[in-house]
Structure 1
Amino acid sequence: MPILEGQRPKGRRESYVLPKVPVPPLKETLDKYLTSIKHLVEEEQYQKTKAIVEKFGEPGGTGDLLQKKLLERSEKTYNWVYDYWLEDMYLNQRLALPVNSNPAMVFPKQNFRDRKDSLRFAAHLITGVLEYKERIDSRALPVDFARGQLAGTPLCMKQYYRLFNTYRRPGLKQDTLIIHQPGSLEQGHIIVACQNQFFVLDLVLKGKKLKEMDILTQLEKIVKMAENKEERQPPIGLLTSDGRTEWAQARDVLIKDSVNSESLAVIEACLCVVCLDGPSGMECGDTSRALLMLHGGGYEKMGANRWYDKPMQFVVGEDGVCGTVCEHSPFEGIVLVACTEYLMKFMTGSPSKMGRAISVSELPAPRRLLWKMSPKIEGLLKASAERLQRLVRDLDMDVHKFEAYGKEFIKKQKMSPDAYIQIALQLAFYRCNGRLVSTYESASIRRFHEGRVDNIRSATPEALAFVKAMTDEEASLSDSEKMKRLCDAINVQTNYTIAAITGLGIDNHLLGLREISRELSMEMPEIFTDKTYVASNQFILSTSQVPTTVEMFCCYGPVVPNGYGCCYNPQSEHLLFSVTSFHGSTETSSAVFIRALDEGLLEMRELCKKANKSHAAAAATGSNTVEPSRGSEVKPPGTPQKAGK
């Protein structure tokens, strides 16, 4: 088993071995696949799919050949799925990054008295970023350990090392993830966006690292420089908000001029981008702040004051709207949470140290990045602005705090809060649509070398049985039977979660088999061209638990035009949901979905309370006719039950 690259110990904190991602048995994956889709398609279509899958899995057949090749790949590589997954999930995708791909973390609303107050906040934030970056580079971060299911396992730390030294460059057919070596000289600066202009803020001058007062001085200079209309540059950042192919084509036009090429190179090498926003003119509730993080409100507001290709992009608004928007390909949400929680604690727990490393007279003015324009580039900017505006108008977002109860109530039922919420999401979707659909829930596989995620398919047959029991279709069922179905659904969801996080999910495995067939220049096996497989990978319900220990929340957009994005943050006494959809779809409404979710969560609580009363009454009378407790129902055989994921 390999040692994780870059994790040989300096001291003892990272001296551990991570295993490779396993290749699941072929038959096991094919059986799980058929189970996961049987209740989501018409019977006739299922029978066609079943025959295709069985033929694929025949001994000595196509599936066997691809499985052997995949096992050979696993022997030769540290992580057989990483490159396949990265390209399929991100680099091959052609949609614009805002809303469609980049998630945002929304910080608590800040109460700035004036612009200088916001700049002090930004300077302190940058100081925290530099401190965190130093901890990463020196490998001083403590190793993460799994929480929730199968807690205590050490996790791969490699995603942390790509927070500040990566860049996603657009390509005509496939993007490229550029990785700079830690501590490289070309990464000695950040980019500051202000009034749609981009400025270079060097972090080391005359061999000295800038201190917080120096950074504040430089930010004040940048604000003043941005107000100079005679020096104003075009809003080139808009191009990064466009579709990936469109942006790649525009970039090819830009780099024909050396001035533009040099400016792009400086941005691509920066540690991070800090966006100094003016007042948004919007109300500052949770939903409005989330929208400003995801897309900046379009080109008329802050949408051009961004550079969406950069993984870490911090936003500090003059009106107190702050957060970060992230290019998602180098790292997962939980790593983003760890970084931003560190920064939030740094902001509140570390007083500003306003000393100087360099005298004011020695601080040179920050450098404004210049762009050479042409009629062609002006036309491309206009087209990008219009497409961003359409995306802004189309996004339907609702950030909602469910306050009737939180994860502590769910834990008292001896149920996993994550599994419980997933079943509630299925109930809400069924109430709105009268059916279940292919559902994505991200499952971390950081237990393995370079592990990223696999998928938990939450729309299970057991979830369908439960949601039918809770709707008018089977209203005649007793509360006892409904409770049994809820326990069954949570049990299956919990077991699938454990399978996925231990490398035995089906989505990565099927992806690997498909990509091996491409590498062998085979005719694409019918299992992957089958209507069912295509539909099963259109995740109409895309979900993720992103819990935080400080006051902030994550949000992202849907992944298909007729779908929902649902990010949830379980807290002790409330549950926070960020639900997104598109106005352009007649099948979706974020507000309607939230109402159905509220209704279902309340009904599930009442069902649990009735079951508790029945159990207590049975215990008092010594009756054996009551359902067993939820603990015995939901506990996977031989597996300790943990709360949450």
Structure 2
Amino acid sequence: MPILEQESPKGHGDHHVLPKLPIPTLHQTLDMYLKCVEHLVKPEQFKKTKAIVERFGAAGGQGEFLQEKLMEKREKTDNWVYSYWLDDMYLSNRLALPINSSPAMVFPKQVFKDRSDSLRFAAHLISGVLNYKSLLDGRSLPVDYARGQLAGTPLCMEQYYRLFTTYRLPGLKKDTLVTQTSSVMPEPEYIIVACKNQFFVLDVVINFRRLNESDLLAQLEKIVKMAENTEEPLPPIGLLTSDGRTEWAEARAMLIKDSTNRDSLDMIERSLCLLCLDDTSGAELTDTNRALQMLHGAGHQKNGGNRWYDKPMQFVVGADGACGVICEHSPFEGIVLVQCTEYLLKYMKGSPSKLVRASSITNLHTPRRLHWKCSPEIQERLASSAHKLQRLVRSLDMDVFKFKAYGKEFIKKQKMSPDAYIQVALQLAFYRCEGRTVPTYESASIRRFREGRVDNIRSATVEVLAFVKSMTDGKAAVPDAEKMKKLWDAISAQTNYTILAITGKAIDNHLLGLREIAEELNVEKPEIFSDETYVSSNKFILSTSQVPTTVEMFCCYGPVVPNGYGTCYNPQSDHIIFCVSSFRESVETSSAVFIKALEEGLLDMRDLCCKQNTAAKPVTPKDGATARNGSKP
């Protein structure tokens, strides 16, 4: 099912005005691919890979044919890689959304005196959401411009317009990203409120008038009473959305056989967003525990069923003060989530809560509870979903760490890119833990182009390997000046690859396009894509992303492979927040061990810079390594 796009905004930043994503030359990508993988595989394996790549890129060969077909596709589409990338990254992925896919933004800890206090916060938050949505509806959101390297370039804004209009529909083999189009006569706008594993329809616009905060609070109070006064426990249907995508698609097919269930599903799927009113988790509200509460709700016995993971935006307000947003990642990137949530937090701080009963709409209808009819098969599915979610909850090893020794201002004083520097530190930490470098993913925005999403910065470069070895393998034998030169080389390599990625010249999207167009044309699968090196180079043991914020909050997510780490970082002027995740079921990983190595590495890198600053001026970096003040635009 195609993604239905809304009409594009007019003016500067219009995605039709932006350039199309380029396609690098075949040999540029193949040469870079070999450079990226040579030091990550054994010599005999690399020799085999090199021969396969050379055959693929030979004149008149398979590679040239596929490149030509990809160029033809580029002429006919706004973005030649978008649908391939969306399917590969998200829609064809069969893993459960919580932890494996959906990131969360964790708000500052709130202090609520009682449940009424938390509901006032929720009403204020939803009021901000409706304000933000009105900006989107009016297409009056200001255009984003790139910061850091190549600053000032207008960026594609289409992702913002999917925040409250999309839904991820589960499929047996592949999900569908459904985007609602606006009709001439808009239907009443509403949100879904989840409370005690039940779902309620809360109209936020009645007779073309938006509910004010007093109205919203009154309705939320009714919902809480209704949820508490249930005579018998209702099935926690939301748990089904936490299951693997194929299992959820099968369960949904069973549900829609009944008209009551069809109506309830339709109401959830067409809603603006979810508001999850969570019960107290019972855990101390540390940064780590608040992150866990957002990511999985602490399992089916706590708030794990008080969710609907297919919705792009789920705002969580916990009775104990754990608050934030969980997002279904397929419609938009982290920066869009950051911009939206920063708007909301600033709105709530700068706009006092307006709870004036006098101006309320009279005769507000009681919010409607959604009902479900559960067959024995569905009951079995619920039990299975609960069991699998619990296993994920037990396995997730999350550690939120605030590194306080220094932040991005110190790094900038070294004339280094903070993002490149932190990426090198992550490589140093992993090498000290495992004695090797591994395929690493760092997301890089390609929003300079129409419908641009991301490409991958491959941070595990040969230059970073040389540096981490100099800091670890008999490090006393390597003079500090030599270590500093290697650090500059590593920073420079990372910076240069970042520039290639944000300008559409990295390798991952290009190789994906060549692979997918071969399948589309039903030609024999090229050997390059079944080669052990290609397969292993796409298992990202380190999955990383910089998600900077200007207000006090942080982003977190899970690993993307069973034996890997998810590492999200937020560089501030005098500290850096790291959210490191791994799975306890893997004997290879430990978030606490990784954090310890990361802290030591960051201190060692600071000491090296300080020593070299006092000894002599640092080695001049290559090709613009000093030019960048941040990572992605």
Give the TM-score band, short-chain normalised: over 0.9
Q: In structure 1, what is the equivalent of residue 151 of structure 2?
A: 151
**Stretches (4+) displaced over 6 A:** none
Alignment of 1:102-113 (within 5 A): 102-113=102-113
Deviations along 1:474-532, one digit per CA (max 9) or x if unpaired, are 53110000000000000010000000000001000000000010011111100000000
Of the structure 1 ranges 232-241 and 324-333, higher mean CA displacement relative to structure 2 is found in 232-241
CA drift at 1:186: 4.2
Any stretches of 5+ residues in structure 1 without a counterpart?
616-627
Corresponding residue SS for 1:89: helix
Partner of 1:170: 170
Contact kept in structure 1, 2:202 and 2:367, CA below 8 Å? yes
Structure 1 segment 264-283 matched on structure 2, within 5 A: 264-283=265-284
CA positional deviation for 1:545: 0.1
Q: How many residues are matched?
A: 627
Q: What is residue 117 of structure 2 aligned with on the other side?
A: 117
Contact 1:565 1:580 in 2 (8 A): yes
8 Å Cα contact 1:211/1:356 also seen in 2: no
Q: Secondary structure at the match of 1:154?
A: coil
Aligned to 2:494: 493
The answer on 1:73 being equivalent to 2:61 is: no
Query: 2:384 maps to which residue?
Result: 383
Residue pairs, 1:475-624, within 5 angstroms: 475-615=476-616
Give 2:259's aligned residue.
258
Q: Is the 8 A contact 1:415 1:634 kept in 2?
A: no
CA–CA distance in structure 2, aligned partners of residues 101 and 127 of structure 1: 28
**Where do residues 280-295 of structure 1 align in structure 2 (5 Å cutoff)?**
280-295=281-296
Alpha carbons 2:168, 2:178 under 8 Å: kept: yes
- Note the C-alpha offset of 1:14: 5.6
In structure 1, give the amino acid aligned to 2:144: D
Distance in 2 separating the partners of 1:302 and 1:280: 8
Distance in 2 between residues matched to 1:131 and 1:530, nearest whole Å: 51
Once the two structures are TM-superposed, the CA of residue 347 in structure 1 deviates from its matched residue by: 0.7
Letter in 1 for 2:624: P
* Alpha-carbon separation, structure 2, partners of 1:120 and 1:643: 37
Residue equivalent to 1:212: 213
Using the TM superposition, give the Cα deviation of residue 641 of structure 1 relative to its aligned residue in structure 2, in angstroms: 4.1
1:331 and 2:320 are equivalent in the alignment: no
Give the secondary-structure state (helix, strand or coil) at the position aligned to 1:50: helix
Letter in 2 for 1:134: S
Contact 1:105 1:553 in 2 (8 A): yes
Of 536-545 and 358-367, deviating more is 358-367
Match of 2:128 in 1: 128
Whether the aligned pair in 2 keeps the contact of 1:272 and 1:310 (CA below 8 Å) is: yes
SS of equivalent to 1:455? strand
Q: Does 1:633 align with 2:618?
A: no
Question: In structure 1, what is the Cα distance between the partners aligned to 2:309 and 2:449?
Answer: 29
**Contact 2:406 / 2:575 at 8 angstroms: preserved in 1?**
yes
Contact kept in structure 2, 1:13 and 1:142, CA below 8 Å: no
Give, in whole Å, the separation in 2 of the partners of 1:29 and 1:575: 34
| Structure 2 partner of 1:53 | 53
Q: CA deviation at 1:173?
A: 0.3
Q: 1:276 to 1:8 in 2, by over 3 A?
A: closer
Equivalent in the alignment of 1:349: 350
Superposition deviation, residue 553 in structure 1: 0.1
**Distance in 2 of aligned mates of 1:587 and 1:216:** 48
**1:625 alignment partner in structure 2:** none
Contact 1:538 1:560 in 2 (8 A): yes
What CA distance in whole angstroms lies between the structure 1 residues aligned with 2:377 and 2:282?
32
Q: Residue 621 of structure 2 aligns to which amino acid in structure 1?
A: E
**2:425·2:598 contact (CA, 8 Å) conserved in 1?**
yes
Where does 1:7-86 land on structure 2 (aligned, <5 Å)?
Answer: 7-9=8-10, 17-86=17-86
Determine the C-alpha separation between the residues in 2 that align with 1:420 and 1:186.
50
Q: Which residues in structure 2 correspond to 1:80-479 (within 5 Å)?
A: 80-182=80-182, 185-186=186-187, 188-230=189-231, 232-355=233-356, 362-479=363-480
Distance 2:569 2:464 in 1: 19
| 8 A contact 1:214–1:357 mirrored in 2 | no
Q: Counterparts of 1:163 and 1:426 in 2: how far apart (Å)?
A: 34
Question: Separation in 1 of the partners of 2:43 and 2:568?
Answer: 32
Q: 1:318 to 1:508 in 2, by over 3 A?
A: same
CA distance in 1, matches of 2:49, 2:64: 18
Quote the Cα distance in structure 1 between the aligned partners of 2:222 and 2:631: 47
TM-fit CA distance, 1:6: 3.6
In structure 2, the CA distance between the partners of 1:16 and 1:58, relative to structure 1 (3 Å rule), is: closer
SS at match of 1:191: strand
Task: Give the drift of 1:150.
Answer: 1.3
How far apart, in 2, do the equivalents of 1:180 and 1:7 lie? Answer: 14
Tell me if the contact between 1:187 and 1:270 (Cα under 8 Å) persists in the aligned partners: no
3-state SS of 1:148 partner: coil
Q: TM-score, normalised by structure 2?
A: 0.97
Q: Distance in 1 between matches of 2:622 and 2:227?
A: 59
**What does the per-residue CA deviation read over 1:33-63, in whole Å, with 9 as the maximum and x for residues that have no partner?**
0000000000000000000000000011000
Q: Aligned in 2, Cα 1:511/1:564: closer, same or farther, shift over 3 Å? A: same
* Matched-pair contact (CA < 8 Å) for 1:166–1:177: yes
- Unmatched 5+ stretches in structure 2: none
The 8 Å contact of residues 583 and 589 in structure 2, kept in 1 or not, is answered as yes
Mapped to 2, the partners of 1:271 and 1:46 lie a distance apart of 50
Deviations 1:431-470 (A, max 9, x none): 0000000000000000000000000000000000000000
CA distance in 2, matches of 1:502, 1:444: 9
- Do 1:85 and 1:508's aligned partners in 2 also have CA atoms closer than 8 Å? yes
Shift, 1:123, TM fit: 0.3
Task: For 2:501, give the aligned amino acid.
Answer: A
Q: Is the 8 A contact 2:276 2:314 kept in 1?
A: yes
Q: Contact 1:635–1:641 (CA<8 Å) still a contact in 2?
A: no
Contact 2:107 2:323 in 1 (8 A): yes
Q: Please tell me whether the aligned partners of residues 166 and 180 of structure 1 are also in contact (alpha carbons under 8 angstroms).
A: yes
SS at match of 1:475: helix
Shift of residue 472, structure 1, vs aligned partner: 2.8
Q: Secondary structure at the match of 1:470?
A: helix
Amino acid of the residue matched to residue 250 of structure 2?
Q
Asked if 1 retains the 8 angstrom alpha-carbon contact of 2:6 and 2:181, the reply is: no
SS at match of 2:306: coil
- C-alpha change, 1:8 and 1:199, in structure 2 (3 Å) is closer
CA distance in 1, matches of 2:420, 2:260: 53
Kept in 1: contact 2:15–2:451 (CA 8 A): no
Q: 1:419, CA displacement in angstroms?
A: 0.2
Shift of residue 231 of structure 1? 6.0
What is the CA-CA distance between 1:473 and the residue it aligns to?
3.9
CA distance in 1, matches of 2:15, 2:158: 14
After superposition, what is the alpha-carbon deviation per residue over 1:287-345, rounded to whole angstroms, capped at 9, x for unaligned? 00000000000001100000010000000001110000000000000000000000000
Q: Secondary structure at the match of 2:254?
A: helix
3-state secondary structure, aligned to 1:185: coil
1:599 is aligned with what amino acid? E
Q: Is the 8 A contact 2:570 2:577 kept in 1?
A: yes
Over the matched positions of the two proteins, sequence identity in percent amounts to: 68
Q: Which residue identity is paired with 1:548?
A: T
Q: Match of 2:101, SS? A: coil
Q: Summarize deviations over 1:59-79 as a string: whole Å, max 9, x none.
A: 110000000000000000000
State the Cα distance separating 1:204 from its structure 2 match: 2.0
The normalised TM-score by structure 1 is 0.95
Cα distance, 1:211 vs structure 2? 1.2
Is the contact between residue 210 and residue 357 of structure 1 (CA under 8 Å) also seen in structure 2?
no
Deviates more, 1:410-419 or 1:205-214: 205-214
Question: Which AA in structure 2 matches 1:366?
Answer: P
Q: Which amino acid in structure 1 is aligned with residue 442 of structure 2?
A: E
| CA distance in 1 between partners of 2:556 and 2:59 (Å) | 45
